[in-house]
Chain A
């Protein structure tokens, strides 16, 4: 046999072996976890009963139509909290990212401090943020706003920082070479170049925060999350179903609009 062909065959055999090994390991991990939890895999076969119950009870009926006014009001409120938190956080994040990006920073320690700070903010789950803030700010929209704000600030700082670093130093140097000042370089060079990328991060975060705001509202007792909880616990499943439906509708709409804006920008 051709020695080159032999080598190729050997290469593919090795690759196949590695793939099989990974699959076996994953299978064992599942088996181990199920055993530990006492989870019976065959109970998945009866899942249709649960789903059938869900559909029967949660489909909005005639009675739930009466809730529409309240739902739409709370939905809009939740949407506004998400947008406000995202835009406020974006301004702060841009500032932090500019002074923290490795390509622009005055001192590398500043960069590390900001990196650490943003990582701390975004690695605390949104639910934990809401619970912590609940103690100091009680049940109101501000609590939800702040929870979303902190998480978004952490996320966007990191995203903006990477956008700025990807932009590189060549064009910054070109403007410095004309004798431009630091602020002139930022406003005349950096911001026009990265504006579209920043915008798409902000739109992505608004989408994300509309979803998260629902969950946060459930904990902080405000907005759409709160009325979902209320209807659900008072066994008004039809109305709760309508809430879920309206949230899905809102999220999809926001996503479509943000896609449209993204296309217009690029």
Chain B
């Protein structure tokens, strides 16, 4: 489904933020990337849909290298990749249903997209997705009035509107309270199990990773230091993933 080979990235041309990262993601599974802050988790995730341009490597999504695509091709490829964010990144003055409908912008003409011209099938689907995440009664609420957990569920509905083959989740629960965390993680888990969507999640919380992941990838200092099934994630392995790197002392804060 998704294979990343030898990915490397440096922001300043000197210090490498990723060095030779390789892993793959299987369909219908929850794959969690864990690792200390600044290890490169966000860079990996955003390289996949090329929000961040990496320097070297290969990102095979459905056998197509995302790095080789031109603008039109990239736009089409992105429309099959859902993404949710720590800060939700909804358009706050717009209503929930408008934000969900943004998920189909990738398939629309410029004109239709600019003037919010959606067909009935799309509108029905948006309502159905809001129902699926339990927010049908909030469809016409401005997103700025929703709680964090509700916003993230709108974010998930927006991603689902894309009919994604994979959903990338960049710290989806880092700003949420424990109860919303469980709601959001349960929904994400359900997407993998029931809908066969690959779910790739960046996380800080090891206990959540253990509970929800099928497969865990540990990243430290821009390198893959663990890549195995969740059952193999021993305490020793976790200590290894979160060990401080000598030359990063101080800048590497362990957040639990």
A residues within 8 Å of B by Cβ? 170-171, 173-181, 183-184, 187-189, 192-193, 195-196
In the complex, chain B residues whose CB is within 8 Å of the CB of A180? 102, 105-106, 113
B175 within 8 Å of A by Cβ? no
**Further 7 A-B residue pairs, CB within 8 A, beyond A177-B82, A179-B78, A188-B105:** A170-B87, A173-B89, A178-B105, A179-B76, A183-B114, A193-B92, A195-B93
Asked if A188 and B49 sit within 8 Å, CB to CB, the answer is: no
Encoded as 1 (CB less than 8 Å from any A CB) or 0, chain B from 52 to 79 comes to 0000000000000000000000011111
Q: Is the interface of A mostly helix, strand, loop or mixed?
A: helix
Min Cβ gap B147→A in Å is: 19
CB pair A192–B94 under 8 Å, yes or no, is yes
Q: Are B91 and A192 in contact (CB under 8 A)?
A: yes
11 contacts between A and B (CB under 8 A): A171-B89, A171-B91, A178-B104, A178-B105, A178-B106, A180-B105, A181-B105, A188-B105, A192-B93, A193-B91, A193-B93
B116 proximal to A (CB < 8 A): yes
Q: Are B108 and A184 in contact (CB under 8 A)?
A: yes
Which 4 pairs of residues, A with B, have the shortest CB-CB distance? A179-B106, A179-B79, A174-B89, A184-B113
Q: Is the CB of A177 within 8 A of B51?
A: yes
How far, in whole Å, are A193 and B114 apart by their CA atoms in the complex? 15
Which has the most chain B C-beta neighbours within 10 Å: A174, A178, A184, A187?
A: A178
By a CB distance below 8 angstroms, the chain B residues around A184 are: 105, 108, 110, 113-114
B83 located at the interface, meaning its Cβ lies under 8 Å from any Cβ of chain A in the complex: yes
Instruction: Evaluate contact between A188 and B78: CB separation under 8 angstroms.
Output: no
A110 CA to B77 CA in the complex, in Å? Answer: 29
CB distance from A29 to the nearest CB of B (A): 45
B106 to chain A, nearest CB (A): 2
Give every chain A residue within 8 A of B108 (Cβ-Cβ): 184
The CA of A173 and the CA of B42, in the complex, are separated in Å by: 13
Residues of A within 8 A of B81 (CB): 177
Residues of B within 8 A of A (CB): 46, 49, 51, 75-79, 81-83, 85, 87, 89-94, 102-108, 110, 113-116, 158, 162, 168
Q: Total contacts A to B, CB within 8 angstroms?
A: 80
CB distance from A121 to the nearest CB of B (A): 29
- Which of B46, B87, B107, B114 has a CB less than 8 Å from the CB of A188? B114
Point out the residues of chain B lying under 8 angstroms from A192, CB to CB: 91, 93-94
CB pair A181 B51 closer than 8 Å = no
CB-based contact A170/B85 at 8 Å = yes
Known: A176-B51, A188-B113. A181 touches B75 (CB 8 A): yes
Nearest CB of A to B91, in Å:
5
Residues of A within 8 A of B90 (CB): 171, 174
Q: Which residues of A contact B105 (CB under 8 A)?
A: 175, 178-181, 184, 188
Nearest CB of chain A from residue B46's CB, rounded to whole Å:
8
In the assembled complex, which residues on chain A have CB atoms less than 8 Å from the CB atom of B85? 170, 174
A189–B91 CB distance below 8 A: yes
Q: Which residues of A contact B79 (CB under 8 A)?
A: 178-179
The distance from the CB of B86 to the nearest CB of chain A, in whole angstroms, is 9
A176 touches B102 (CB 8 A): no
Q: In the complex, which residues of chain A have a beta carbon less than 8 angstroms from the beta carbon of B82? A: 177-178
Chain B residues with Cβ below 8 Å from A178 are: 78-79, 82-83, 102-106, 158, 162
Contact B78–A175 (Cβ < 8 Å) = no
Find the A residue at minimum CB distance from B164.
A178
Decide yes or no: A188 and B91 within 8 Å by CB, A178-B102, A179-B78, A180-B102 being known contacts: yes
Contact status A181-B89, CB under 8 Å? no
How many whole Å from B144's CB to the nearest CB in chain A? 10
A184 to B109: give the CA distance in the assembly, Å: 9
Residue of chain B at shortest CB distance from A196 = B93
Complex alpha-carbon distance, A173 and B91, angstroms: 12
Q: CB-nearest residue of chain B relative to A187? A: B114
Distance between Cα atoms of A192 and B142 in the complex (Å): 11
Is B113 in contact with A174, judged by CB distance below 8 angstroms? no
Of B87, B93, B110, B162, the contact of A179 (CB 8 Å cutoff): B162
**Which chain B residue lies CB-closest to A186?**
B114
Q: Chain B: which residue is nearest A171 at the CB level?
A: B89
Which residues of chain B are near A179, meaning CB under 8 Å? 75-79, 105-107, 162
B113 proximity list for chain A (CB < 8 A): 180-181, 183-184, 187-188
Complexed CA–CA distance, A187 and B58 (Å)? 33
A195 to chain B: closest residue by CB: B93
A residues in contact with B83, CB < 8 Å: 174, 177-178
CB-defined contacts of B115 to chain A, threshold 8 Å: 187
Residue of A with least CB distance to B85? A174
Cα distance A193–B92 in the bound complex, in angstroms: 7
